[in-house]
Amino acid sequence: MNLLTEKFKGLKVILGSNSPRRKQLFSELGIDFEVIVKDVDENVSLAMRPEDLVMFLARKKGMAFKNETKEGSIVITADTIVALGDKVIGKPSSLEDAADMLNLLSGKKHQVITGVAIMSDKKAESFFVRTEVCFKPLRPEEIDYYIHQFKPLDKAGAYGIQEWIGMIGIEYIQGSYYNVMGLPVKELYEQLLKF
């Protein structure tokens, strides 16, 4: 028996994310849900640690659903960033920007941090998960091929770990693979069981 299926039977569960990867991963939990996307300004000029930033943005996205969090409903929102030292790397604005980001990450360790917010009409919880990722030194031809054959513009750090560049370029990860895809599924599962 799926513990979450039983726990959330009859509840309205909303995934507040436009990410096809989050939708795919969340669907694997076996809960009936619907995707509703709210337009939230993600530009933040506050000087925050990366962990605080993703939690702030996940909660901000969740607050946009205040009217939907009626009795018997739960909203789940998330935000993922890439951090290279103290430098936060978001989504690229162009293919040139994507190439610059991948060149920056090439041959280095970086962190992928996802903040998740879970909200109902009675309470709100949030948490973050951090994964360390190390790229091999990437050849210019590899970066060029990836940015032109795949869709780096909707991904933090300009890459998807599950795509070609992840397969040929990542030397190791330490932590949750699914977190790098955009949703730390195991940690979310445990949080939902307690929620």
Active centre residues (catalytic) = 79
Burial class (CB in 10 A: 0-12, 13-18, 19+), 29: middle
Quick check: 191 and 125 in contact, CB under 8 A?
yes
Q: Could you give the angle at which helices 140-149 and 95-105 cross, rounded to 10 degrees? A: 140
Q: Across the chain, which distance is largest between two alpha carbons, in Å?
A: 53
Return the half-sphere exposure (C-beta side, CA atoms, 13 A cut-off) of residue 119.
22
Structure tokens at 81: 């960033």
